[in-house]
Structure 1
Amino acid sequence: MPETRSDGTPDNSRWANRRQVLARSGAVGVGIAFTGVLSELFAGTASALGRSGHGPLVPDPNGLLDLPKGFRYRVLSREGDQLRSAEGAVPSNHDGMSAFAGRGGRVHLVRNHENRPTARIAVPAVKGITYDPAGKGGCTALTLDGRGSVVSERVAIAGTAVNCAGGSTPWDTWLTCEETEEKVGTSGYTKDHGFVFEVDPVDPHRTGAVPLTAMGRFQHEAIAIDPRRGVVYETEDAFQRPFGLFYRFLPNKPLGGIGSLRAGGRLQAMRVPGLPDLSSIQETGASFDGVEWVDVPDPLAVQTPIRLQDFGPKGITHAQKLEGCYWGGRCVYFVSSFAHRAEGSAADHFGQVWRYDPTRRRLTLVVVFGPDTDVQLPGESPDNICLAPGGGLMVCEDGDGAQHVFGVTRRGEVYAMARNRQNTGTPEAPEWGEFAGVTFAPDGRTMYVNCYSPGTTFAVTGPFHR
């Protein structure tokens, strides 16, 4: 996600460094191969890009979204339009999202808005569901009827900050994550930020705007919940060294339904013995047994950010750019979008997907991204990630150049599913906003995805069963 300096101005140094790394590797303007094994989901290793999926992308005459032949899209919502609730304008910076089944074939979408103090359009403050009146972030909720038409759109939580990926619960609520750790008095905030909030997609006033403080105060990215044990896994997208941690939260009241996470619990961070930085591992299939979980000394980070706290003489395991997180089969998967030595990582990479098996206490590197040669195919830096109806993956790209949603089949084949055509730059120096929040309707027939900027929510239909 785009980053800012402490004074709120854009920090472009990371993107310059990324382009420098690409240039040194000879990968500027080229595609990225997807290699490795997802043994829980796929039957074999990844093959060459572009030999499966739904065929080549067809240029969209309207200049919004390129899709394969046979697919079509509908724009559900765009930033700046008026919310149907008349609460204000659709906010900026569309990010994480999930779809929930409603009555009579309806679908409820909850969508994050990763708004900082400099955001163009804030989430409107609404009585009863606003945490900090100075916060411009939050969530909006859309309800679609059985034909896929939007019948309502309203604020679901307001007054939060930098709401990033998040994740859904087994009891059909949304956990929105603040990707910041700014405290009261900074950036005009009247309350501390860096928390997770629960949002009911049907009736947001049931959940209100209550921070789940026991889940930690840090730069939250995404969450995934073990549906059998109720353990909540959390990623941290820290912008500076030392980089983020991978956490688990052990609720006092696991799988207890709406409001149960307010009962508290223990927050722990992952320690892989002998592995202080995940980026140093480059080979898919590399596994580490005996993963340890260490209690976080101060989950509220009253004085010191969690990643800087004292975890004892053995230290703790860090990773740069920890992003998407989801539960699949018996394991939790999480994404490191990239790592750069120049920024303090142990090694360079273009993206990793890791799998943690809680039964075996085993961590495995299952997917690695690296340079390829096809300019028409997806690039670097995987971000939001979800399971596709056929058992494969859909991954949002957050890198330089053209931005895609790309898929991985059960056979491990990679294909481009969508390409953003909304140029936010100039004809001479085009720029395209990243994708975020990819998710599927409960029946698997519709893919929903956001373009981060300009904030746009799409519904994509077509022969996903192929």
Structure 2
Amino acid sequence: MSATRRQILARTGASAAAIAFSGAVSELFAGTAAAAVPGGHTGRAGYGPLVRDPHGLLDLPEGFSYKVLSRQGERLRSGEGAVPGNHDGMGAFAGRRGRVHLVRNHENRATGRIGVPTVPGLTYDPAAKGGCTVLELDGRNNVLGERVGVAGTAVNCAGGPTPWNTWLTCEETEDKAGSNGYAKDHGFVFEVDPADPHRTGAVPLTAMGRFQHEAVAVDPASGIVYETEDAFERPFGLFYRFLPHQPLGGTGSLRAGGALEAMRVPGVPDLSVIQETGARFEGVEWVPVPDPQAVETPIRLQDFGPKGITHAQKLEGCYWGGRAVYFVSSFARVKDGSGATHFGQVWKYEPHLRRLTLVVVFGPSTDIRLPGETPDNICLAPTGGLMVCEDGDGAQHVYGLSRKGEVYPVARGAQNIGTPEEPEWGEFAGVTFSPDGRTMYVNCYSPGTTFAVTGPWR
């Protein structure tokens, strides 16, 4: 389209915006319905201009407020150590008596300053500093408890919830034992029970593959797990599916193993070259991964036969909606080795039809102060909208997307981690909603801060 999202938002004072990118936006909400939330109102999409926070933490629309649940460096309520940094992917789960369990990833590398504390029974590799922490909240978002969910993992980026109410946390690394001081191989998925982390422990789900994991989405009907790979070097990542031997059976189902396959789109070795929204590919193939453990060769470099395999740069967010799985390519750049440049795509795969469709293409950058390209973490809000975390240059936002294709800002980070002369803001990550739809939880990656946002959601 002729106008980008940033151009339109600039013209409307960073309030609501008309369609600002091309694509069948309505498809992104398949299988969802807007919930009736007390305090909601009608009118244009969005909630009005963002109001500067006098405390310098989080700018929100008028009528909304936030509560800081946890900040890096504070003490965990469990007494296990300090709250780790690098807050990333997150999921919210219903607990007993109206409580909420909030599972939060920490994307710590070997050199991270504040790592996840090692806890007996919950630690995979004591040399690794990543992992998850779990907050227990009451109905008013008061923190009742905060503890380690899994430790000794590395670069825990995103992940996703399961239909049996556990969290799958993903390691975005391929480091093997002996590199960066690690004692064990990394690049796995781990399962965390938010109500009882010791029930799941620190067991790598090795059959799901060893690669630079980003996010997962589970088909609630079949139990098949779809996985994105955010590889940093060419050839870029793949889109996978894991077929568990014991689907939909709780923790044991994924530990029982299964088959890992990678997506092949016939005639399309690189998804970045597809630029036209609505482009549809029938007969998508799934090819067995030769060596899921990547003992000698990273999976994306393995031999998938004479037809090859389909790659894509920056495969990140992933979610299930209706009868399809959606996944995000945050961007692609020719200078990095992609076949074409784009500023964000959303793809839809329909398993029952073996069909892949490009449903949204984001526009180029025009104003770094306003919501822009490089979509990252993404979630369907129970109030009927789509929430996307921005991971680009300049100011960082959480922005919403209505069913009509209207883009609107929901939150803007106000914590300047740069200088007054050259300001810089930490990206948002882990946007998710409480089970009752009344609270949006979101992380600021740096400085690690977890917010609970309430207001007149509609």
Q: TM-score over 0.5 for the alignment?
A: yes
In 1: Cα distance, 2:139 partner to 2:384 partner:
24
Q: Using the TM superposition, give the Cα deviation of residue 376 of structure 1 relative to its aligned residue in structure 2, in angstroms.
A: 5.2
**1:291 matched to which residue of 2?**
284
Tell me if the contact between 2:89 and 2:157 (Cα under 8 Å) persists in the aligned partners. Answer: yes
Tell me if the contact between 2:365 and 2:373 (Cα under 8 Å) persists in the aligned partners. Answer: no
Q: Which amino acid aligns with 1:71?
A: F
Give structure 1 regions of 4+ aligned residues with deviation exceeding 4 angstroms.
Answer: 29-32, 372-376
In 2: Cα distance, 1:108 partner to 1:355 partner:
30
**2:259 matches 1:266:** yes
Q: Which amino acid aligns with 2:388?
A: V
**1:395 matched to which residue of 2?**
388
Q: Which amino acid aligns with 2:21?
A: F
Given the alignment, which residue of 215, 228, 231 partners 2:224? Answer: 231
Q: Which amino acid aligns with 2:134?
A: A
Q: Which amino acid aligns with 1:55?
A: G
In 1: Cα distance, 2:262 partner to 2:80 partner:
40
Given the alignment, which residue of 1, 16, 21 partners 1:34? Answer: 21
Aligned residues: 433
1:225-263 C-alpha deviation (Å, 9 max, x unpaired): 000011000000000000000000000000011222000
**2:414 matched to which residue of 1?**
421
**2:439 matches 1:452:** no
* Equivalent position SS for 1:147: coil
Q: Using the TM superposition, give the Cα deviation of residue 304 of structure 1 relative to its aligned residue in structure 2, in angstroms.
A: 0.2
Distance change >3 Å, CA 61–CA 177, structure 1 → 2: same
In 2: Cα distance, 1:96 partner to 1:373 partner:
28
Given the alignment, which residue of 34, 50, 54 partners 2:47? Answer: 54
Q: Which amino acid aligns with 1:391?
A: G
Q: Using the TM superposition, give the Cα deviation of residue 160 of structure 1 relative to its aligned residue in structure 2, in angstroms.
A: 0.2
Structural mapping, 1:91-102, within 5 Å: 91-102=84-95
In 2: Cα distance, 1:319 partner to 1:97 partner:
24
Tell me if the contact between 2:264 and 2:310 (Cα under 8 Å) persists in the aligned partners. Answer: yes
- Extract unaligned runs of 5+ from structure 1: 1-25, 44-49
TM-score, structure 1 normalization: 0.90
**2:35 matched to which residue of 1?**
none
**2:116 matched to which residue of 1?**
123
In 2: Cα distance, 1:427 partner to 1:377 partner:
19
* Equivalent position SS for 1:176: strand
* Equivalent position SS for 1:417: strand
* Equivalent position SS for 1:260: helix
Q: Which amino acid aligns with 1:38?
A: V
Tell me if the contact between 2:20 and 2:405 (Cα under 8 Å) persists in the aligned partners. Answer: no
**Larger CA deviation: 135-144 vs 377-386:** 377-386
* Equivalent position SS for 2:158: coil
**2:58 matched to which residue of 1?**
65
**1:312 matched to which residue of 2?**
305
**2:404 matches 1:411:** yes
**1:254 matched to which residue of 2?**
247
Q: Which amino acid aligns with 2:167?
A: W
**2:36 matched to which residue of 1?**
none
Distance change >3 Å, CA 454–CA 405, structure 1 → 2: same
In 1: Cα distance, 2:146 partner to 2:252 partner:
24
Q: Which amino acid aligns with 2:400?
A: G
What percent identity do the matched residue pairs reach?
79
Given the alignment, which residue of 222, 234, 240 partners 2:233? Answer: 240
**1:7 matched to which residue of 2?**
none
In 2: Cα distance, 1:381 partner to 1:251 partner:
32
**1:105 matched to which residue of 2?**
98
**1:383 matched to which residue of 2?**
376
**2:347 matches 1:354:** yes
Tell me if the contact between 2:123 and 2:151 (Cα under 8 Å) persists in the aligned partners. Answer: yes
1:177-234 C-alpha deviation (Å, 9 max, x unpaired): 0000100000111100000000000110000000000000000000000000110000
**2:295 matches 1:302:** yes
- Extract unaligned runs of 5+ from structure 2: 1-5, 31-42
Root-mean-square deviation (Å): 1.8
Tell me if the contact between 1:129 and 1:156 (Cα under 8 Å) persists in the aligned partners. Answer: yes
**2:335 matched to which residue of 1?**
342
**2:429 matches 1:436:** yes
